[in-house]
């Protein structure tokens, strides 16, 4: 009797062993979701392995309760990946898998069965196979069995086997639903010309026009099928004409899946460029043999903004597909990746699955199943696409690899870029980390040979990188002892650009109107009651908001210390910038893009669309405007205050500032006209500002690496941050000290134990926060120590009610 190794969806740091009735286990493979007894409860579990080796003699083996799905939810090839993640990030494996799978899977999902076209034909001709008689009538008449019927059929092993066989033969489809309306593919009625594109002369005017419109749209999109909706947009009289054309056999119509980009348009076909640039050729010449050899090989693609990295990704993907392997493309945030999304959809069409936050639960599950069943070979998505159930990825691409959104900051703190490299290693795949500003860590790996470096140092068609001018705020005439938000240089630049009918971007990485509310009578700064953070004024909404926990109150507040109502708004954010800009340039059309103005994807897309259509002259925004966008008419970028991110108490502040500025600068001059950048700063001599001005990544890297070496920070050491949180301040402190003493007592060689100390954000969402930083050169040692400390924290005398979270390779020390 085989034994089942199961990861329970529960906070258990090891796997469990179960058995299953012999009749059932034949269909089981790794990746199946099971219902298992755990203590007195029934919980979900994930089957990791089947073996003949019994567990230790005193282990009480229980029987699984049920098999939850008709197919495995992830391929067996991913089991080792999950094991590695659990070990490296010190997180329960079952909870990792649970987080990886699409949300909203009911413990026992609704299941429907329908006949496919082939099934209808086959059932009509020959006597149908061994499906229980009472259900046959419905299947033949309605072509479908309801969830209730399926539930009954499903109880018997024999039925399950028959139905799966029929599904494999393509006669049946098994659908798992969350709710009926969500799951079906969004299909649209499409039309296609049947034969020659020649328009017969005897047609009515409206029919002729319809045919021509169809021809034109098909040519434009480089696809045969055209959605009726789009045809109607091109020629409003096409509706009726289509029916008559179909009747005459000139056009055929069908419900089809239509891909639309986030702007609601069918993405235009981006044809392959006639010729690759020299650098693209060199890069692909190195990638090609690696992809063909089907061995693990990591590359770092350092290409300046506008150097044509997307085309490299596309052609590399093609090579992997030719080898019959899958492709995984990760982008920092899918909403920001409309460009890449559009390119891949146009080039590869139906084989793509997109995993992003805009999908409903049903759609997400649907995509997941397509991938797991091997029906889509290319997956594009944000951080969580790392877990896409591709059985054999041959190429993994991490675009904008330096982006900190690849790091998950709560509960399961994994870094999707690092994990992607590991997944590629296990899958014997090529991994490409791409960026205009590689992370210091990745570039260091490229220096010491761990990654192979690929460089694309110039923009396509030799377009110039924008000219960057620094405006020294210390030398500007002050108003009330402060420099103005808009220096004369910036105002002049904006006016000139406006008169040339060019677009401008204004960047400030801070939301709201004012970021401090200061009491004029007693000097107190208004703070969030849950967090140790000052409140930000949002003038339009008349609210004071905590940017960490979302706590909100009316802006007409009184000072909690002295009850004075005389509060003054200090500091500035994007809302203030937009306000001031309206006064400075009343004729200009101004919009703002940040998390307040674009709470929803729809609003976000609307603003971007307006910029693309040139209905906006000046776009003000936070880092949301910096990433990935291709605005061909933007020729001026203004940075209100480059120093905002320099003051953050984090060893990565310099690296972040350089990355952010370089990304923002990269938005200028991507089209026909060259770009210009004006940067206002109090620190014109700071190395991240100087090097971003000169577009000198190498120099930046050298200076940053020298600093890191001197302080023994990564990449010269590894870090693990232990974070203690709880509602009682003194217990949090006590817990942190207990663990710190234990850590020192264990006397691991060459590990620095820094702290414990209150975190820079000492209180967040009502919880007090302390941390203890472990730093060492040997990561096995470091991990061992942290494992031991975590164990100690699970037992007394560790105070109750205190949570210890382990953050391996922390990105953020706040
Ligand atoms: P990056 O991602 O490196 O910032 P993109 O991939 O967005 O750059 O490419 C910038 C522009 O150059 C895009 O409009 C793209 O279509 C175009 N492009 C890329 N490769 C070529 C090529 N070989 N010939 C002509 N145009 C190209
Ligand atoms: Zn006061
Ligand atoms: Zn708060």
DSSP track, 186-219: -EEEEEEE-S-SPPPTTS-HHHHHHHHHHHHHHH
pLDDT surpassing 80 at residue 401: yes
Please tell me the residue having the least CA distance from ligand 1 atom 17: 308
Rounded to an integer, the average pLDDT of 145-157 is: 77
pLDDT surpassing 90 at residue 165: no
pLDDT surpassing 70 at residue 337: no
Nearest ligand for residue 301 CA:
1
**539 C-alpha to ligand 3 centroid (Å):** 18
Question: Ligand 1: which atom is nearest the Cα of residue 309?
Answer: 3
What is the pLDDT, as a whole number, of residue 367? 83
What is the pLDDT, as a whole number, of residue 74? 94
Rounded to an integer, the average pLDDT of 370-376 is: 87
Rounded to the nearest angstrom, the gap between the alpha carbon of residue 736 and the centroid of all alpha carbons in its chain is 33
**526 C-alpha to ligand 2 centroid (Å):** 9
CB of 460 within 6 A of ligand 1: the answer is: yes
pLDDT surpassing 80 at residue 271: no
**98 C-alpha to ligand 3 centroid (Å):** 29
Please tell me the residue having the least CA distance from ligand 1 atom 12: 308
- Lowest-pLDDT range of 195-204, 540-549, 671-680: 195-204
What is the pLDDT, as a whole number, of residue 54? 80
What is the pLDDT, as a whole number, of residue 183? 40
730 by Cβ neighbours in 10 Å (0-12 / 13-18 / 19+) ranks as exposed
**101 C-alpha to ligand 3 centroid (Å):** 31
What is the pLDDT, as a whole number, of residue 342? 76
pLDDT surpassing 70 at residue 607: yes
Residue 252 pLDDT level (bands cut at 50, 70, 90): confident
Report d(CA 141, CA 453) in Å as an integer: 61
Residue 181 pLDDT level (bands cut at 50, 70, 90): very low
117 by Cβ neighbours in 10 Å (0-12 / 13-18 / 19+) ranks as exposed
What is the pLDDT, as a whole number, of residue 483? 84
Q: What is the DSSP string of 576-587?
A: HHHHHHHHH-TT
Phi/psi class of residue 394: alpha, beta or left (left: φ > 0; alpha: ψ in -120 to 50)?
A: alpha
Question: Ligand 1: which atom is nearest the Cα of residue 310?
Answer: 6
Please tell me the residue having the least CA distance from ligand 1 atom 19: 308
What is the pLDDT, as a whole number, of residue 657? 94
pTM of the model: 0.82
> Does residue 239 or residue 266 have the better pLDDT?
239
Nearest ligand for residue 520 CA:
2
CB of 688 within 6 A of ligand 1: the answer is: no
| Closest residue by Cα to residue 234 from 212, 204, 259 | 212
Q: Measure the CA angle with vertex 547, ends 541 and 548; round to 5°.
A: 145
Residue 259 pLDDT level (bands cut at 50, 70, 90): low
pLDDT surpassing 80 at residue 141: no
pLDDT tens, residue by residue, 507-532: 999 999 998 899 999 989 998 888 88
What is the pLDDT, as a whole number, of residue 127? 59
What is the pLDDT, as a whole number, of residue 26? 64
What is the pLDDT, as a whole number, of residue 439? 97
Average pLDDT, the chain: 87
Report d(CA 332, CA 405) in Å as an integer: 6
Return the percentage of the chain with pLDDT > 70, whole number. 93
Q: What share of the chain is helix, strand, coil (3-state, %, to 5)?
A: 40, 25, 40
Bridge partners (DSSP) listed for residue 773: 721, 754
Give the tokens for residue 58: 């005193």
**730 C-alpha to ligand 1 centroid (Å):** 56
Q: Answer whether 618's CB lies under 8 Å from 503's CB.
A: yes
Report d(CA 450, CA 438) in Å as an integer: 15
Please tell me the residue having the least CA distance from ligand 1 atom 13: 308
Q: Measure the CA angle with vertex 658, ends 654 and 664; round to 5°.
A: 145
CB of 280 within 6 A of ligand 1: the answer is: yes
CB of 303 within 6 A of ligand 1: the answer is: yes
Interacting residues of 164 by C-beta distance below 8 A, sequence separation 6+: 27, 70, 174
Question: Ligand 1: which atom is nearest the Cα of residue 304?
Answer: 3
Query: Residues whose CB is under 5 A from ligand 3 (ion)?
Result: 528, 530-531, 546, 548-549, 551
Nearest ligand for residue 530 CA:
3
CB of 307 within 6 A of ligand 1: the answer is: yes
pLDDT tens, residue by residue, 312-329: 999 999 999 999 999 999
> Does residue 575 or residue 169 have the better pLDDT?
575
> Does residue 35 or residue 386 have the better pLDDT?
386
Please tell me the residue having the least CA distance from ligand 1 atom 24: 273
> Does residue 63 or residue 616 have the better pLDDT?
616
Report d(CA 656, CA 639) in Å as an integer: 15
Rounded to an integer, the average pLDDT of 395-399 is: 97
> Does residue 616 or residue 547 have the better pLDDT?
616
pLDDT surpassing 70 at residue 300: yes
> Does residue 795 or residue 724 have the better pLDDT?
724
> Does residue 477 or residue 698 have the better pLDDT?
698
pLDDT surpassing 60 at residue 51: yes
What is the pLDDT, as a whole number, of residue 246? 84
| Closest residue by Cα to residue 70 from 108, 117, 114, 103 | 108
Side-chain-side CA neighbours of 143 within 13 Å: the count stands at: 11
- Lowest-pLDDT range of 348-357, 394-403, 545-554, 614-623: 348-357
**199 C-alpha to ligand 3 centroid (Å):** 67
Which of 56-70, 219-233, 252-266, 474-488 has maximum average pLDDT? 474-488
pLDDT surpassing 60 at residue 728: yes
Nearest ligand for residue 534 CA:
3
Residue for token pair 């971003």 = 692
What is the pLDDT, as a whole number, of residue 419? 97
Report the number of secondary-structure helices (H) and strands (E) in the chain: 25, 34
CB of 437 within 6 A of ligand 1: the answer is: no
Interacting residues of 428 by C-beta distance below 8 A, sequence separation 6+: 294, 295, 296
CB of 177 within 6 A of ligand 1: the answer is: no
Q: What is the DSSP letter of 780?
A: H
Q: Are strands 226-227 and 393-399 parallel, antiparallel or unpaired?
A: unpaired
What is the pLDDT, as a whole number, of residue 268? 55
What is the pLDDT, as a whole number, of residue 23? 54
pLDDT surpassing 50 at residue 182: no
Question: Ligand 1: which atom is nearest the Cα of residue 630?
Answer: 7
Pocket test for ligand 1, best of 308, 329, 343, 695 (most atoms within 8 A of CB): 308
Which of 128-142, 221-235, 350-364, 607-621 has maximum average pLDDT? 607-621
What is the pLDDT, as a whole number, of residue 669? 87
Nearest ligand for residue 564 CA:
2
Report d(CA 751, CA 739) in Å as an integer: 15
CB of 793 within 6 A of ligand 1: the answer is: no
Q: What is the DSSP letter of 460?
A: G
CB of 210 within 6 A of ligand 1: the answer is: no
How far lies 600's CA from each of 100, 394, 576, 593, 631, in Å? Answer: 24, 35, 22, 11, 21
> Does residue 288 or residue 375 have the better pLDDT?
288
Q: Answer whether 719's CB lies under 8 Å from 650's CB.
A: no
CB of 399 within 6 A of ligand 1: the answer is: no
């Amino acid at each position: 009797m085989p034994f089942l190794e199961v990861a329970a969806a529960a906070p258990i740091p090891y796997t469990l062993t179960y058995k299953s009735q012999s009749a059932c286990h034949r269909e089981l493979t790794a990746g199946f979701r099971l219902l298992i007894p755990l203590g007195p409860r029934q919980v979900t579990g994930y089957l990791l392995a089947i073996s003949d080796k019994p567990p230790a003699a005193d282990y009480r083996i229980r029987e699984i309760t049920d098999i939850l799905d008709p197919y495995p939810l992830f391929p067996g090839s991913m089991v080792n990946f999950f094991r590695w993640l659990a070990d490296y990030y010190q997180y329960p494996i079952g909870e990792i898998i649970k987080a990886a799978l699409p949300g909203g899977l009911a413990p026992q999902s609704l299941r429907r069965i329908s006949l496919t076209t082939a099934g209808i034909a086959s059932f009509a001709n020959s006597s149908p196979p061994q499906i229980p008689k009472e259900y046959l009538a419905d299947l033949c008449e309605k072509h479908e069995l309801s969830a209730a019927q399926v539930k009954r059929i499903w109880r018997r092993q024999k039925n399950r086997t028959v139905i799966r066989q029929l599904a494999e033969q393509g006669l049946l489809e098994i659908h798992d639903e969350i709710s009926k309306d969500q799951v079906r593919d969004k299909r649209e009625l499409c039309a296609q010309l049947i034969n020659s594109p020649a328009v017969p002369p005897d047609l009515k005017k409206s029919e002729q026009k319809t045919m021509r419109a169809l021809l034109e749209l098909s040519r434009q999109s480089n696809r045969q099928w055209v959605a009726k909706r789009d045809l109607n947009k091109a020629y409003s009289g096409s509706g009726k004409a289509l029916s008559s054309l179909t009747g005459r056999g000139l056009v055929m119509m069908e419900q089809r899946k239509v891909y639309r980009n986030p702007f609601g348009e069918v993405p235009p076909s981006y044809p392959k460029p006639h010729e690759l640039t020299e650098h693209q050729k060199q890069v692909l010449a190195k990638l090609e043999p690696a992809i063909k050899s089907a061995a693990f090989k990591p590359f770092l693609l350092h290409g300046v903004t506008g150097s044509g990295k997307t085309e490299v990704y596309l052609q590399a993907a093609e090579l992997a597909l030719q080898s019959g392997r899958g492709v995984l493309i990760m982008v920092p945030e899918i909403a920001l990746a409309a460009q890449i999304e559009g390119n891949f959809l146009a080039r590869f069409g139906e084989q793509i699955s997109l995993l992003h936050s805009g999908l409903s639960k049903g759609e997400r599950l649907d995509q997941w199943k397509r991938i797991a069943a091997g029906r889509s070979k290319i997956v594009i998505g944000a951080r969580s696409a790392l877990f896409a159930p591709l059985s054999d990825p041959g190429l993994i691409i991490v675009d904008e690899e330096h982006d900190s959104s690849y790091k998950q900051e709560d509960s399961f703190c994994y870094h999707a870029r690092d994990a992607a490299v590991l997944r590629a290693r296990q899958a014997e795949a090529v991994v490409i980390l791409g960026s205009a500003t590689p992370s210091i860590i990745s570039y260091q790996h490229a220096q010491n040979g761990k990654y192979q470096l690929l460089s694309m140092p110039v923009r396509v068609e030799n377009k110039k990188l924008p000219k960057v001018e620094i405006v020294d705020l210390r030398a500007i005439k002050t108003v009330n002892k402060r420099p103005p938000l808009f220096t004369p240089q910036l105002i002049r630049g904006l006016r000139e650009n406006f008169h040339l009918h060019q677009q401008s971007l204004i960047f400030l990485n801070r939301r709201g109107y004012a970021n401090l509310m200061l009491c004029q009578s007693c000097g107190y700064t208004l703070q969030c009651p849950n967090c140790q953070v000052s409140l930000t004024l949002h003038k339009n909404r008349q609210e004071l908001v905590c940017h960490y926990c979302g706590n909100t109150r009316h802006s007409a507040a009184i000072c909690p210390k002295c009850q004075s109502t005389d509060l003054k708004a200090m500091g500035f954010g994007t809302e203030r910038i937009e306000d001031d800009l309206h006064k400075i340039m009343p004729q200009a059309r101004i919009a703002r893009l940040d998390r307040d103005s674009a709470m929803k994807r729809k609003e976000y897309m609307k603003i971007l669309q307006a910029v693309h259509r040139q209905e906006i002259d000046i776009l003000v925004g936070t880092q949301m405007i910096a990433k990935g966008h291709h605005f061909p008419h933007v020729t001026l970028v203004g940075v209100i205050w480059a120093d905002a991110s320099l003051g953050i108490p984090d060893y990565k502040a310099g690296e972040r500032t350089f990355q952010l500025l370089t990304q923002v600068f990269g938005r200028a001059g991507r089209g026909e006209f060259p770009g210009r950048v004006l940067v206002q700063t109090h620190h014109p001599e700071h190395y991240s500002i100087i090097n971003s001005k000169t577009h000198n990544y190498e120099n930046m890297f050298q200076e940053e690496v020298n600093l890191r070496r001197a302080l023994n920070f990564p990449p010269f050491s590894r870090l693990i941050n232990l974070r203690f949180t709880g509602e009682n301040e003194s217990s949090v402190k006590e817990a942190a000290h207990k663990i710190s003493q234990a850590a020192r007592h264990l006397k691991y060689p060459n590990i620095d134990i820094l702290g414990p100390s209150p975190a820079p954000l000492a209180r967040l969402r009502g919880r007090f926060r302390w941390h203890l930083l472990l730093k060492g050169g040997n990561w096995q040692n470091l991990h061992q120590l942290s494992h031991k400390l975590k164990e100690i924290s699970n037992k007394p005398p560790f105070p109750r009610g205190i949570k210890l979270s382990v953050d391996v390779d922390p990105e953020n020390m706040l």
